[in-house]
Amino acid sequence: MFDPKEVKRLNIPQWEAVYRSEIVPGIISFIAIHDTSRGWALGGCRMANYDNEATALTDVLRLSRGMTFKNAISDLPLGGGKSIIVCDPNIKGKKREKTLEEFGKFVAWVNREKDVYCTAEDMNTTVQDMNIVKKYCRNIFGTSVDPSPYTAHGVFSAIEYAVDYFAMDLFYGRRTLCGKRVLIQGLGKVGMMLMQLLSDAGMEVYVTDIREEKVLSAIEKFPDIKPVDPEDIFGIEVDILSPAAKGEVITKQNVDNCKFKILCGPANNQLQNPETGIMLHKKGIVYCQDFIANMGGVCSIQYLEIENLSHEITLKRIRRTVRKMLGLTFRTAFRSNLSFNIAVDHAVRRIIWRSKEDTQKLSNAIIFPLTATSEP
Ligand code: NAD
């Protein structure tokens, strides 16, 4: 069970604090706090199996740094962090409950002296899970708000904006979504909602999920959508690929097979590494930065739970910020002759982080110190 004496603090350059704890026998959890210069580090808790601990650690580091960027580019008064519970995400009943309770104690311990890290639901964790965590710590958001629909709305706005922005270059001047083809990889909390929004907008929607029941339930709701084999995402010709399952969808090995025109989805870390983004750019493929496209979830927590704003204002602000920041990225890329993923790094540093000290901190952080590894 969670024992403060067993917590290890890992010394990772450029991260403010990284903790490892065996919260229940055989189940390791990591909490990574990347940067709190703008406020508490906010970032969800994901439950997943990894090949080994190093892979899990790499993932939590990358994700926590991504949260610093996302919270900053969303102009939220929040820093970046993330947590991971390394276990079978399908555990149920008492075992799941116990694991989440012990994780709650771990989060409370990290915040014992000062509030530095707040968590929320993420991949393979739910609002119900977070309500269990909340019994043992108060540093939880997303229990009265389900961020996923807001994430989906943000991704929808990003797709809409990118199609409009590049209509002349990619779609013979046709600006609407109607009739364009999109493939959504992953029909989870975000993917399912995104499918509905894109179908309603008249898009030709292709879907894939490793869980057949998800695809069947999507077809039941929207009989026109077309299922695709999970292994065949590069085999079909679509205008937009929307990763909504896992990271590292685009790798050095598969980038030559990419036939789509726009990459835009909610999944974090869609590119294996920055070079993959440069390769996509050379192929003329537009990349909508993951942490801009998927900022809706974290914005909804800030606007609805922390600032008590209405649903309508929240949606309006998310749409406006996604469009503004994507526009900034696209313009920075063209002006400076950079790929979109590199342009966004420049934009974050120059526009969002204003103080010299923080700019320096981020410019160091651009070089990710560990090798990229695959998510489960
Ligand atoms: P989820 O766990 O609810 O859904 C993921 C879905 O992807 C599941 O249905 C799963 O079966 C499927 N899947 C897994 N591997 C797959 C593969 N190889 N091919 C096809 N399908 C596969 O997750 P979610 O909350 O919908 O989030 C989706 C992604 O968006 C994640 O990467 C998450 O980190 C990111 N994200 C989510 C939010 C949010 O608000 N939920 C916010 C920001 C980012």
What is the spatial distance between Cα 240 and Cα 257, in angstroms, rounded to a whole number? 14
- Determine the pLDDT at residue 108: 97
Query: Is the distance from the beta carbon of residue 123 to the nearest atom of ligand 1 less than 6 Å?
Result: yes
What is the spatial distance between Cα 80 and Cα 338, in angstroms, rounded to a whole number? 25
Query: Is the distance from the beta carbon of residue 297 to the nearest atom of ligand 1 less than 6 Å?
Result: yes
For residue 351, is pLDDT > 70?
A: no
Question: Judging by DSSP bridges, how do beta strands 27-35 and 17-24 pair with one another?
Answer: antiparallel
pLDDT tens for 226-246 read 999 999 999 999 999 999 998
Q: Among 67-71, 92-96, 204-208, 247-251, whose mean pLDDT is lowest?
A: 67-71
- Spacing, Cα 189 to ligand 1 middle (Å): 7
Report which protein residue has its CA nearest ligand 1's atom 17: 210
pTM value? 0.84
Query: Is the distance from the beta carbon of residue 187 to the nearest atom of ligand 1 less than 6 Å?
Result: yes
Closest CA to 270 of 245, 293, 247: 247
- Determine the pLDDT at residue 107: 97
For residue 363, is pLDDT > 90?
A: no
Query: Is the distance from the beta carbon of residue 266 to the nearest atom of ligand 1 less than 6 Å?
Result: yes
- Within 13 A of 43's CA, how many CA atoms are on the CB side? 33
pLDDT tens for 156-202 read 999 999 999 999 999 999 999 999 999 999 999 999 999 999 999 99
- Spacing, Cα 89 to ligand 1 middle (Å): 12
- Spacing, Cα 123 to ligand 1 middle (Å): 6
Which of the two residues, 79 and 155, has the higher pLDDT score? 155
* Range from 84-98, 117-131, 338-352 that averages highest in pLDDT: 84-98
Q: Among 55-59, 72-76, 280-284, whose mean pLDDT is lowest?
A: 72-76
Query: Is the distance from the beta carbon of residue 45 to the nearest atom of ligand 1 less than 6 Å?
Result: no
Query: Is the distance from the beta carbon of residue 149 to the nearest atom of ligand 1 less than 6 Å?
Result: no
Question: Judging by DSSP bridges, how do beta strands 204-208 and 226-227 pair with one another?
Answer: parallel
Structure tokens at 165: 């922005």
Report which protein residue has its CA nearest ligand 1's atom 14: 245
Q: Which atom of ligand 1 is nearest to the CA of 89?
A: 2
Q: Among 142-146, 290-294, 310-314, 320-324, whose mean pLDDT is lowest?
A: 142-146
If one residue of 294, 295, 298 were mutated to test the ligand 1 pocket, choosing by the most ligand atoms within 8 A of its CB, it would be 294
345's enclosing H/E stretch is helix 340-347
Q: Which atom of ligand 1 is nearest to the CA of 63?
A: 34
Structure tokens at 130: 């977070």
pLDDT tens for 152-162 read 999 999 999 99
Q: Is residue 92 among the annotated active site residues?
A: no
For residue 266, is pLDDT > 90?
A: yes
Query: Is the distance from the beta carbon of residue 125 to the nearest atom of ligand 1 less than 6 Å?
Result: no
* Sign of the alpha-carbon torsion through 110, 111, 113, 114: positive
For residue 360, is pLDDT > 60?
A: no
38 — pLDDT class (breaks 50, 70, 90): confident
- Spacing, Cα 267 to ligand 1 middle (Å): 7
286's enclosing H/E stretch is strand 286-287
Mean pLDDT of 112-140: 93
- Determine the pLDDT at residue 141: 87
Helix 212-221 and helix 189-200, axial crossing angle in degrees, nearest 10: 30
- Determine the pLDDT at residue 256: 95
Phi and psi angles of residue 159, each rounded to the nearest 5 degrees, phi first: -65, -45
- Spacing, Cα 279 to ligand 1 middle (Å): 25
What is the spatial distance between Cα 322 and Cα 296, in angstroms, rounded to a whole number? 8
Mean pLDDT of 333-351: 86
Query: Is the distance from the beta carbon of residue 142 to the nearest atom of ligand 1 less than 6 Å?
Result: no
Q: Are 101 and 129 in contact (CB under 8 A)?
A: no
Residues 6 or more apart in contact with residue 363 via CB below 8 angstroms: 349
- Spacing, Cα 245 to ligand 1 middle (Å): 3
Kindly name the residue from 70, 82, 105, 180 that is annotated as catalytic.
82
Query: Is the distance from the beta carbon of residue 373 to the nearest atom of ligand 1 less than 6 Å?
Result: no
- Spacing, Cα 61 to ligand 1 middle (Å): 19
For residue 359, is pLDDT > 80?
A: no
- Determine the pLDDT at residue 4: 94
229: left (phi over 0), alpha (psi -120 to 50) or beta: beta
